Structure 1
Amino acid sequence: MMRRWARFVAGSYPPLPSVLFALAWAFGVTGLFAAVQPHSPPWRPGLGTADAALTLTVTLLMMRAVDDIRDLDYDRRHSPRRPLASGAVSIRDVLTLCAVGSVVVLALNVGNPVALVAIGGQLAYCALVLAAHHWWRWPSGDKLLLNLAVGFPAQLLLHLYLYARYLNTTSLNPGRHGVLAVVIVVLASVHLELAKKITRRREPGERSYVDVFGLSGTIGIALVAPLLSTVLLVTGARSTPALVPLAVLPLVLPALAGWRFWRKRTSRWSPVAPALYLLLTFTGYFALSLSY
Structure 2
Amino acid sequence: MTGWCRRVRRFVSGRHPPVPSLLFAAAWAYGVTGLFAALDPLAARWRPGGGTAVAAVTVFLDLLLMRALDDVRDLEHDRRFHPERPLPAGAVRVRDLVVLYAAGSSAVIALNAAWSWRAAVLAAQLAYGAAVLAAHRRWRWPPGDRLLVNLLVSLPAPVLLHAYLYAGYLDASGHGAGWSGAVAVVVAVLAAGYTELAKKITRAPRPGEPAATGPLGLNGSVAVALAAPALSAGLLAARSQAPSAWTPAALLAMVIPAVAGCRFLLGRARRPCAAPALHLLLTFAGYAALGLAR
Q: Does 1:161 align with 2:164?
A: yes
Aligned to 1:174: 177
State whether residues 10 and 91 of structure 2, in contact with CA within 8 Å, keep that contact through their aligned partners in structure 1: yes
**CA positional deviation for 1:207:** 3.9
Conserved 8 A contact 2:213-2:221: yes
Q: Is the 8 A contact 2:145 2:211 kept in 1?
A: no
For residue 233 of structure 1, the aligned residue among 233, 236, 242 is 236
Aligned length: 291
Unaligned residue ranges in structure 2 (runs of 5+): none
User: Could you tell me which residue of structure 2 aligns to residue 4 of structure 1?
Assistant: 7
C-alpha deviations, 1:123-156, integer Å up to 9, x for none?
A: 1111111221233232222222222111111111
Q: Which runs of 5+ in 1 are unaligned?
A: none
| Worse-matched range after superposition: 115-124 or 37-46 | 37-46
Deviation at 1:80, TM superposition (A): 0.3
Q: Residue by residue, what CA displacement relative to the aligned partner does 1:93-121 show, whole Å, maximum 9, x if unpaired?
A: 11111122112101111010111110111
User: 179, 188, 195: which one pairs with 1:192?
Assistant: 195
- Give, as a single letter, the amino acid of the residue that structure 2 aligns with 1:275: A
The answer to whether the 8 Å contact 2:193/2:229 transfers is yes
In structure 1, distance between residues paired with 2:94 and 2:212: 28
Segment drifting more, 7-16 vs 61-70 = 7-16
TM-score normalised per structure 2: 0.95
Match of 1:271 in 2: 273
Are positions 1:134 and 2:137 aligned together? yes
CA contact (8 A) 2:147 2:213 kept: no
Deviations 1:2-22 (A, max 9, x none): 111110011111223322221
Residue type at the aligned position of 1:48? G
Q: Deviations over 1:210-255 (max 9, x none)?
A: 2331121111111111111111111101122211111111111111
Instruction: Please give the alpha-carbon distance, in whole angstroms, between the structure 2 residues aligned to 1:9 and 1:208.
Output: 29
Pairing 1:214-225 to 2, within 5 Å after superposition: 214-225=217-228
Q: Does 1:283 align with 2:285?
A: yes
Residue 210 (structure 1) aligned with residue 213 (structure 2): yes
The structure-2 alpha-carbon separation of the partners of 1:134 and 1:266, relative to structure 1 and needing over 3 Å to count, comes to closer
Could you tell me how far apart the structure 2 residues matched to 1:241 and 1:80 are? Answer: 49
Instruction: Please identify, of 155-164 and 132-141, the stretch whose mean Cα deviation from structure 2 is larger.
Output: 132-141
Does structure 1 residue 43 correspond to structure 2 residue 67?
no
Deviations 1:231-285 (A, max 9, x none): 111110112221111111111111111222233x221111111110011101110
CA–CA distance in structure 1, aligned partners of residues 181 and 28 of structure 2: 16
- For residues 135-189 of structure 1, the C-alpha deviation after alignment (integer angstroms, 9 at most, x for no partner) is 3232222222222111111111001111111111111111111111011111111
- Report deviation, 1:208: 4.3
Distance 1:89 1:159, change over 3 A: same
C-alpha separation between the residues in 2 aligned to 1:204 and 1:213? Answer: 21
Evaluate the alpha carbon distance shift between residue 208 and residue 111 of structure 1 in structure 2; reply closer, same or farther with a 3 A threshold. Answer: farther
Identity of aligned residues (%): 53
Q: Match for residue 106 of structure 1?
A: 109
In the alignment, the residues of structure 1 paired with residue 22 and residue 114 of structure 2 have an alpha-carbon distance, to the nearest angstrom, of 23
Equivalent runs, 1:79-158 vs 2, <5 Å = 79-158=82-161
Does the 8 A contact of 2:242 with 2:291 survive in 1?
A: no
Q: Which moved more, 1:8-17 or 1:48-57?
A: 8-17
1:257 corresponding residue in structure 2: 260
Partners of 1:43 and 1:21 in 2: CA distance = 21
Structure 2 partner of 1:73: 76
Partner Cα distance (1:120, 1:277) in 2: 29
Q: Give the letter for the 2:291 counterpart.
A: S
Instruction: Between 193-202 and 174-183, report the one with greater CA deviation.
Output: 193-202
